[in-house]
Amino acid sequence: MKPKIEDVAKVAGVSPTTVSRVLNNRGYIGEKTREKVHKAMEQLNYYPNEVARSLFIKKTFLIGLIFPTTSNPFYGQLIFHLENLASELGYKVLLCNSQGREDKERSYLRMLQRNQVDGIIAGAHNKGIEEYEDPNLPVVGIDRYLSTKIPVVSSDNYQGGEKATQLLIEKGCRSIVHINGPISLETPANMRRKAYEDVMERNGLTPLTYEYEANDSVFSLLFEENPEVDGIFASDDLIAARVMQEARNRGIDIPTKLKIVGYDGTETTRLLLPELTTIEQPVREIAVKALEILMKQINKEEDYESATILPVKLIESDTTRK
Amino acid sequence: MKPKIEDVAKVAGVSPTTVSRVLNNRGYIGEKTREKVHKAMEQLNYYPNEVARSLFIKKTFLIGLIFPTTSNPFYGQLIFHLENLASELGYKVLLCNSQGREDKERSYLRMLQRNQVDGIIAGAHNKGIEEYEDPNLPVVGIDRYLSTKIPVVSSDNYQGGEKATQLLIEKGCRSIVHINGPISLETPANMRRKAYEDVMERNGLTPLTYEYEANDSVFSLLFEENPEVDGIFASDDLIAARVMQEARNRGIDIPTKLKIVGYDGTETTRLLLPELTTIEQPVREIAVKALEILMKQINKEEDYESATILPVKLIESDTTRK
DNA sequence: AACAATATGTCATCCGGTTGACATATGAAA
DNA sequence: TTTCATATGTCAACCGGATGACATATTGTT
């Protein structure tokens, strides 16, 4: 059986209260007693039961993370930073892959509440989960408006859309198509599209957006319906990669005939596909900010921003450069 | 304050024991009482406190995952599947990014024990963590011998090394170099190198291995020291991508002058770098098997394999095909 | 009418650790 | 010698829920 405080006390020849005092550094403790206790703990290989402790102090030092999937390099990297930073602050991380499914997100949310997490950071992209309206515990959204009361952290999606579109125009593209993932109206990521449309119109060009909904035929369709396309702004790097594939299959040379700009610029993309021009999101900064705001909520500080927008960076490479 | 069983009982006009009976479906409960209780729970937005429950039943339904980083697409995907499968079994996942650091892995291990996880799946790659010798709780290693008592699940690294090397030889390569990450002798992944060396020698060729230790100069060095190199077997896809970059910079055409085989074949790699020939690891199957063995340990079944080796698949693409 | 099955309540105990109240002992400073 | 800070012990209550023992109704069955 796992040793408990009582067992440690018996071995050290002191009272349970004294052991607890040593563990929590409370009250007066003599040097020799402290040593005796530590020796006993080592001898028994004792470690405190956090579950019991959590129950009493009403705090678990647990944070729930809800994201679509760690498989995606952007989320993988974001989650990496979040876990890392949380761990430095003494918090542990419960991981939830919602897979873009509303029912999953709902049940994860319930699960996290039952497990008394101290806070939640959510970047899943499901619409209308009313549970967020009164979660009854600190929540921060990433790139996602969860409810009016929940603070959001995101990168400057509008700026990113502008930079991407402007670059393509500067490089001489005239028939520029935008392709994005499933549209959810409440998402700041939609600002990418808005910016694209604004910039296009400002330049007297007609915006045209395709939507990628797990149906691979859009890639082919895009080229069939727009043989004159000379620029594509993809809403993420994985989609950009698919576009590059399709162009290659059709013998369209990049960048002479077609220029492409992606979005995200994760480490993985930049290692595997360094030739892709992309808009880099400040992943680490997003994580830092989200956690900072969550901690403020947890510590009942009131002075946190309800929306934080971080700047993005254009990384130019071969797909837009001769 | 969060409602507790007592509050629900008061609202429903029944006793706390009856509420507990409803929650756990024990003993006799009348239909109308069950409804009253459910109504009261809904009204109060009650959800049981898992911390309290865990303390009593001595089971948390928590599993700890220790891996180097979710940033890496291979681990990201593996973790995705592990979390998914665990969640289907009613288990939750505590995520730990050890970052290849021994001290981090040690403290994560302690943390998981203090938090009373029901089991651990570890795929971190640090040597000599003696804590695994007697972890006092179920553990499964992935691609990693943790101790004599801990079961391992891995893909067939030797077979992978063979397939990769044989392919290069079949395609006419004669000067084949292998490049791998930091070598840890206890790792099954080292079998990739062993297989490479065996196949080379069996074919009268001289094996030569470079080690990549976060020092980017190896890529350049490799080509400087071996101008005649016509085949490279990289121990993972990210390294293969770097090699491709270096070759491109040097104007070496792939695949006519140089053929490359990578390793892992994750979804991300295959989307971003579909032209890379690679050895695909059965990520999902590894996750399934690891969890299956962990569950057997948790349920005190004794009939689990101490080592499981799953077959890999060669995926040929442009880097070895004209 | 008697008995069993069903339905619900009360009460106490336990899970492992924390904490406050209070008692007691020791040594050093005043 | 008195007094106080230091050091440790005992005891009980608490965190929220689970559970076993036992009592008491209310049904329905024979």
Spatial CA neighbour of B129 closest among B154, B96, B158, B80: B96
Answer whether residue A19 shows pLDDT above 80.
yes
Q: Is residue A53 part of a domain?
A: no
User: Which of helix, strand or coil describes residue A232?
Assistant: strand
Smallest Cα distance from A39 to chain B, Å:
17
Average pLDDT over residues B280-294: 97
CB of B42 less than 8 A from some CB of A: no
Average pLDDT of the residues of chain A? 91
Q: Are residues B140 and B195 in the same domain?
A: no
> Cβ B245–A50 below 8 Å, yes or no?
no
- pLDDT at A302 (0 to 100): 86
pLDDT at B185 over 60: no
| CA nearest to B172, candidates B281, B12, B322 | B322
User: What does the pLDDT read at residue B45?
Assistant: 92
Long-range CB contacts (within 8 A, 24+) of A193-200: A193/A161, A193/A235, A194/A158, A194/A161, A195/A157, A195/A158, A195/A159, A195/A160, A195/A161, A195/A162, A195/A165, A196/A161, A196/A164, A196/A165, A196/A233, A198/A162, A199/A161, A199/A162, A199/A165, A199/A166, A199/A169, A200/A165, A200/A176
Give the closest residue to A228 by CA, choosing from A203, A261, A199, A206: A206
Nucleotide nearest to B53 (CA to C1'): D17
> For residues A207 and A192, what is the distance between their CA atoms, to the nearest angstrom?
13
pLDDT for residue B33 = 81
pLDDT by residue (tens digit) across A100-126?
888 999 999 999 999 999 999 998 766
Q: For A109, name the nearest residue in chain B, comparing CA atoms only.
A: B47
Tell me if A71 and B45 make a contact (CB, 8 A cut-off). no
One domain, residues B217 and B243:
yes
- Omega before B255 cis (within 30°)? yes
Confirm or reject contact between B171 and chain A (CB < 8 A): no
Contact A160, A195 (CB under 8 A): yes
Helix-strand-coil percent breakdown of chain B, rounded to 5?
A: 45, 15, 40
Per CB-CB distance under 8 Å, the chain A contacts of B245 are: 274
> What pLDDT, on a 0 to 100 scale, did the predictor assign at position A114?
95
Instruction: Tell me which range, A25-34, B93-102, B215-224, is most confidently predicted by mean pLDDT.
Output: B93-102
Tell me: do B106 and B169 sit in the same domain: no
CB–CB contact A72 B113 (8 Å): no
Contacts of A115 in chain B (CB under 8 A): 50-51, 92
- Is residue A287 scored above 60 in pLDDT? yes
Within an 8 Å CB–CB cutoff, is residue A214 touching chain B? no
More confident residue, B190 or B241: B241
pLDDT at B113 over 60: yes
- Check whether residue A266 and residue A170 sit in a common domain: yes
Q: How far is the CA of A174 from the C1' of C29 (A)?
A: 90
- Cα(B78)–Cα(B83) distance, rounded to whole angstroms? 9
Structural contact between residues A315 and A267, judged by C-beta atoms closer than 8 angstroms: no
Are residues B272 and B303 both part of a single domain? Answer: no
Judge whether B55 lies within some domain: no
Range in B85-89, B121-125, B220-224 the model is least confident about: B121-125
User: Would you state the structure tokens that stand for residue A300, as one six-digit string?
Assistant: 């009942």
**B117 and B225 assigned to the same domain:** no
* Structural domain boundaries, residue A38: 5-48
Most B-contacting residue of A56, A96, A115 (CB-CB within 10 A), to test interface = A115
Region B86-90: mean pLDDT is 97
Interface of A with B in 83-112 (CB under 8 A): 83-84, 87, 92-97, 99, 110-111
| Interior/surface letters A296-312, b for 16+ CB within 10 angstroms, e for the rest | bbbeeeeebeeebbbeb
Contact status of A57 with chain B (Cβ, < 8 Å): no
Closest Cβ–Cβ partner in B71, B77, B115 for A267:
B71
Find where tokens 């994760």 sit: A266
pLDDT-based confidence at residue B321 (cuts at 50, 70, 90): confident
Beta bridge partners of A97: A67
Q: Which amino acid is at B119?
A: G
Q: How far apart are CA B318 and CA B322, in angstroms?
A: 7
Residue B142 lies in a domain: yes
Instruction: Give the residue, A33 or A64, on which the prediction is more confident.
Output: A64
- Nearest chain A residue to B90 by CA distance is A111
CA triplet A134, A138, B109: central angle to 5 degrees? 130
Residue B35, C-beta contacts closer than 8 angstroms, at least 6 positions apart:
none
User: Does a cis peptide bond (omega within 30 degrees of 0) precede residue A255?
Assistant: yes
Mark yes or no for CB contact A52/B50 under 8 Å.
Answer: no
Find, among B126, B90, B82, B81, the residue nearest to B108 by Cα. B126
Looking up residue A32, the CATH number of its domain turns out to be 1.10.260.40
Instruction: Specify the DSSP class assigned to residue B206.
Output: -
Query: In sequence order, which ranges of chain A are alpha helices (DSSP H)?
Result: 5-12, 16-24, 31-44, 50-57, 73-88, 102-114, 157-170, 190-202, 217-225, 237-249, 267-272, 283-298
Strands A313-315 and B176-180, sheet pairing:
unpaired
- Nucleotides on chain C within 7 angstroms of protein Cβ: 6-12, 14-21
Percent of the residues in chain A that have a pLDDT greater than 70, as a whole number: 96
One domain for residues B239 and B297 = no
Q: In chain A, whose CA is at the least distance from the CA of B67? A: A80
Q: How many cross-chain Cβ pairs, A to B, lie less than 8 Å apart? A: 138
Confidence of residue B193 (pLDDT cuts 50, 70, 90): very high
User: Considering only residues 2 to 21 of chain A, which have any Cβ-Cβ distance to chain B shorter than 8 Å?
Assistant: 2
CA–CA gap between residue A133 and residue A147 (Å, rounded): 6
* A135 confidence band (pLDDT: 50, 70, 90): low
> Do B260 and B190 share a structural domain?
yes
Do A189 and A238 fall within a single domain?
A: yes
CB contact under 8 A, A272 and B72: no
Residues A107 and A189 in one domain: no
pLDDT at B18: 85
Residue A42 pLDDT > 60, yes or no?
yes
Q: Which residues contact A35 (CB under 8 A, 6 or more apart)?
A: none
Chain A residue closest to B115 (CA)?
A50
Q: Which residue is closest, via its CA, to the C1' of D11?
A: A17
Amino acid letter at B109?
A: L
Structural domain includes residue A146: yes
Give B203→chain A minimum CA distance, Å.
Answer: 32
The pLDDT value given to residue A1: 74
Mean residue pLDDT across chain B: 91
Indicate if the alpha-carbon torsion angle B254, B257, B259, B260 is positive or negative: negative
How many CB atoms are located within 10 Å of the residue A7 CB? 17
Banded pLDDT at B287 (limits 50, 70, 90) = very high
* Cβ–Cβ below 8 Å for B272 and A274: no
Residue B53 lies in a domain: no
Count how many domains chain A has. 3
For residue B66, which of A65, A71, A111, A87 has the smallest C-alpha distance?
A87
Asked if residue A185 has pLDDT above 60, the reply is no
CA–C1' A233–C29 (A): 80
The whole-angstrom distance between B74's CA and the closest CA on chain A is 8
Q: Would an 8 Å CB–CB cutoff place A254 in contact with chain B? A: no
Q: Measured between CB atoms, does B116 come within 8 Å of chain A?
A: yes
Whether A110 is in a domain gets the answer: yes
For B242, the closest of A79, A84, A271 (CB atoms) is A271
Share of chain B above pLDDT 90, in %: 72
Using the structure, give the distance in angstroms from the CA atom of A115 to the C1' atom of D18, rounded to a whole number.
17
Helix, strand or coil for residue B126? coil
Query: In chain A, what residues touch B45 (CB-CB under 8 Å)?
Result: 136
Find the CATH number of the domain harbouring B174. Answer: 3.40.50.2300
State the pLDDT at residue A36.
86
Identify the helix (H) or strand (E) that includes residue B24: helix B16-24
Q: How far apart are CA A259 and CA A112, in angstroms?
A: 44
Sequence-distant (≥ 6) Cβ neighbours of residue A72 within 8 angstroms: A238, B76, B268
Six-digit token string for A303: 């002075």
Residue in A50, A76, A241 closest to B76 by CB: A76
CB neighbour burial string for B31-48, b if at least 16 within 10 angstroms, e if fewer: eebeebbeebbeebebbb
d(CA B34, CA B26): 12
Contact A47 B110 (CB under 8 A): yes
How confident is the model at residue B194, as a pLDDT?
A: 93
Q: Positive or negative, the Cα torsion across B47, B95, A310, A118?
A: positive
Which nucleotide lies at the shortest CA–C1' distance from A17?
D9
Whether A1 contacts chain B with CB within 8 A: no
Name residue B122's beta-bridge partners. B66, B141
Please state, in angstroms and rounded to a whole number, the distance separating the CA atoms of residues B297 and B304: 8
User: Are B165 and B251 members of one domain?
Assistant: yes
Does A84 have pLDDT greater than 70? yes
Beta-sheet strand order (sheet of A119-122): A307-310, A152-155, A139-142, A119-122, A62-67, A92-97, B92-97, B62-67, B119-122, B139-142, B152-155, B307-310
Specify if A171 maps to a domain. Answer: yes
Examine the domain organization and report whether A291 and A150 are in the same domain: yes
Q: At residue B195, does pLDDT exceed 90?
A: yes
